[in-house]
Amino acid sequence: MVMVSEKPILPPHVKIVEMGPRDGLQNEKQPVSTEVKLELIQRLINAGEKNIEATAFVSPKWVPQMADHHEIMLGLKKLNSDDVMFPVLTPNLKGFEGALAGDAKEVAVFAAASESFSQKNINCSIAESIESFKPVMEAAKENSVLVRGYVSCVLGCPFEGDIAAEKVAEVAKALYDLGCYEISLGDTIGTGTPSKAQAMIKEVAKYVPINHLACHFHDTYGQALANLYACLELGVSTIDSSVAGIGGCPYAPGATGNVATEDVVYMLNGLGIETGIDLDKLVDAGVFISDVLGRKPVSNAANALLSKRAVK
Ligand code: HMG
Ligand code: MG
């Protein structure tokens, strides 16, 4: 008789890094006020989220949606937010200085595993980007600021197609060696599938310990949850996701939002994996921002739970 394979050992706890206010709102055409962004962040905190990427210190000419970064930092101080980390994107020293002026405790630098995407997104080559992160890393160390590192296009590029896992590993290692405490691996255009995601993680984990890796999967092809499960099986225990599935990347044509936080939390709840997040309150936060954007949440779990509420 053929036996089913042993149950994989899944992590008991997963750290969710909420992307809605940054990756989500950076790609929404409709302007969203600073007040609404801060209200969203407070609702995410109320739902139990402890890591919320709040804004991006990037050029307002490139990404006007994040132009209120200084106001956001001021607003965060007024929120009821004990123990919550608010990482912010800082592509260069200018961005880092802005973040520091706003008392950021955690920032994120972002590189890509694709040359074309690097040029389109931050106007320089991969090697140049790594060079420009060095002064950021030094300044962060001096000021005891944590730095996260992103690698984009880990499972495909909108301009180059397939990207070699070896290239992803090379860029991830460079960021880790620079001092990034966590490397977030971005399937920017959501083309990955589970075995490809596992192969990529296995390659990267040769150079960066698995407990320092995060999965940042956009759900463009509806594969993100399957890919996440495949990566959980390998021991990844940090997941980036976006409330109500909002967002995308302005420099990745066709990219839609990150996997919805509600869908991830529903799956993790079912697997008995703890996140500290209250799914009902999270759904409410998703409805709040979706109402502002004039649509339903892009989350199957959220919409199913809302329908269930409606018939009660
Ligand atoms: P550049 O034009 O090459 O930079 O942009 P520059 O150094 O030549 O400066 C040009 C102008 O930008 C100057 O102003 C600078 O002061 C200003 P001017 O003299 O023309 O008035 N500038 C800045 N302003 C504000 N903040 C800064 C900053 N730096 C320079 N930090 C730069 C280079 C990186 C700034 C630009 O390309 C940029 O802002 N890119 C941002 C792109 C972006 O935000 N993309 C989305 C986020 S990444 C993402 O979504 C992927 C991720 O989610 C993972 C995944 O899904 O894969 C993380
Ligand atoms: Mg992203």
Instruction: Give per-residue pLDDT as tens, 87-142.
Output: 999 999 999 999 999 999 999 999 999 999 999 999 999 999 999 999 999 999 99
Ligand 1 contact via 119 beta carbon (within 6 Å): no
Ligand 1 contact via 152 beta carbon (within 6 Å): yes
In a domain, 270, yes or no: yes
Question: Does residue 82 register a pLDDT over 90?
Answer: no
**Coil, strand or helix at 277:** coil
Domain limits for position 71: 19-311
Cβ atoms 2, 224 nearer than 8 A = no
Q: How far is the CA of 312 from the centre of ligand 2 (A)?
A: 36
Q: What is the mean pLDDT of the chain?
A: 95
In a domain, 11, yes or no: no
Query: What pLDDT, on a 0 to 100 scale, did the predictor assign at position 110?
Result: 98
Q: For 219-264, write each residue's pLDDT tens digit.
A: 999 999 999 999 999 999 999 999 999 986 667 777 789 999 999 9
Ligand 1 contact via 191 beta carbon (within 6 Å): no
Beta strands in the chain (DSSP E): 15-18, 55-56, 88-89, 106-112, 146-152, 182-187, 213-217, 238-241
- Number of domains comprising the chain: 1
Nearest CA to ligand 1 atom 12: 59
Mean pLDDT of the 188-213 span = 97
In a domain, 9, yes or no: no
**Coil, strand or helix at 35:** helix
In a domain, 12, yes or no: no
How many Cα atoms within 13 Å fall on the side-chain side of residue 217? 34
In testing the pocket of ligand 1, which one of 17, 28, 53, 59 has its CB within 8 Å of the most ligand atoms?
59
Distance, in Å, from the CA atom of 231 to the CA atom of 60, rounded to the nearest integer, reads 35
Q: pLDDT confidence of 5, banded at 50, 70, 90?
A: low
Mean pLDDT of the 284-295 span = 96
Is 180 known to be catalytic?
no
Cβ atoms 44, 18 nearer than 8 A = yes
Query: What pLDDT, on a 0 to 100 scale, did the predictor assign at position 160?
Result: 97
Query: What pLDDT, on a 0 to 100 scale, did the predictor assign at position 218?
Result: 96
Nearest CA to ligand 1 atom 23: 59
CA angle at residue 31 from 23 to 266, to 5 degrees? 40
Residue 188's contacts (CB-CB under 8 Å, 6 or more residues apart) are: 117, 152, 153, 154, 156, 157, 158, 218, 249, 252, 255
Q: What's the CATH code of the domain at 47? A: 3.20.20.70
In testing the pocket of ligand 1, which one of 17, 23, 28, 58 has its CB within 8 Å of the most ligand atoms?
58
Query: What pLDDT, on a 0 to 100 scale, did the predictor assign at position 129?
Result: 98
In a domain, 2, yes or no: no
In a domain, 215, yes or no: yes
Query: What pLDDT, on a 0 to 100 scale, did the predictor assign at position 39?
Result: 98
In a domain, 5, yes or no: no
Atom in ligand 1 nearest the alpha carbon of residue 258: 56
- Axis crossing angle, helix 224-234 with helix 261-270, rounded to the nearest 10: 50
Question: Does residue 8 register a pLDDT over 80?
Answer: no
Query: What pLDDT, on a 0 to 100 scale, did the predictor assign at position 243?
Result: 98
Query: What pLDDT, on a 0 to 100 scale, did the predictor assign at position 249?
Result: 65
In a domain, 203, yes or no: yes
Question: Does residue 6 register a pLDDT over 70?
Answer: no
